[in-house]
Amino acid sequence: MPFSEDIKIKALVSCGRKCCICHKFCGNNMEIHHIKAKADGGDDSFGNAIPLCFDCHAEVRQYDPRHPKGIKFSEKELILHRDNWYKKIKQENQQDNDKVSKEPVKMHHEQNYQHIMLHKANTGNDILFYLEGALGIVHDEQAETLEEAKLLGEFVQYLFDTIDMDFLIEPYDRVMTAYNLSENLKELDDAGFWVFVGKENRKVTGGVGSPEMFPVLIVRIVRKNSNEIIKHEL
């Protein structure tokens, strides 16, 4: 009987589909050779298998003891070739895994993020439009007094509390959140502030997972007379 499919797969994975003698990547062009021939009592076990490319397999098989020329591949030599190569592939795989696990987590801005246009929030629903789906918040404000700091801080904290909750999926909670935000915007407007919002699609890389998108709500609170405000006539 030939090698079983399980033994073939185990051997091919162990060698990384690279020949155990020449170390060339072979893809489909590989054969599993019996280190000890079945005619000499060899079996179909994993321990008697060595994955080889077509060329090396032909070299190993073609030696004719009746007309000796060169030095034949011995069973011990083939076992050493195989075991050393299996060990090297295992070490390389471990190094790759260590590299992935040790890759630092990084947050990347989207392209041209400096030019993201922020829009004035006139109602709570304007904020919810950008807040929905966001995983984080970046904010900037212009408080000059303790009273202003408390007012702006409470508003920003409410945004963080909102993004950390799952209640926005319920219609009642969504309506109430929009109402509360609208009231906050009125209070800020009375104090001389406008709120501008937008969204940036950042990307998180590193760690052990694949890169993931990380949408971020951008909030900027400025005074109504700020020269940063660009007005568009409709």
Residue-wise pLDDT for 126-169, tens only, equals 999 998 888 889 999 988 999 999 999 999 999 988 886 655 66
- Least trusted range by pLDDT, from 62-66, 80-84, 195-199: 62-66
87 and 16 in contact (C-beta within 8 Å)? no
Q: What is the pLDDT of residue 221?
A: 95
Rg (CA), the chain: 33
The number of residues making up the chain comes to 234
State how far the alpha carbon of 198 is from the alpha carbons of 61, 116, 122, 176, 201, in Å.
70, 7, 13, 22, 10
pTM of the prediction?
A: 0.56
Residue whose entry in the numeric block shows the structure tokens 């949408």 = 215
118 and 220 in contact (C-beta within 8 Å)? yes
3-state secondary structure of 129: helix
Q: pLDDT per residue over 31-49, tens digit each?
A: 999 999 888 888 989 999 9
Domain range annotation of the chain: 5-102, 106-223
Residue with more model confidence, 22 or 205:
22
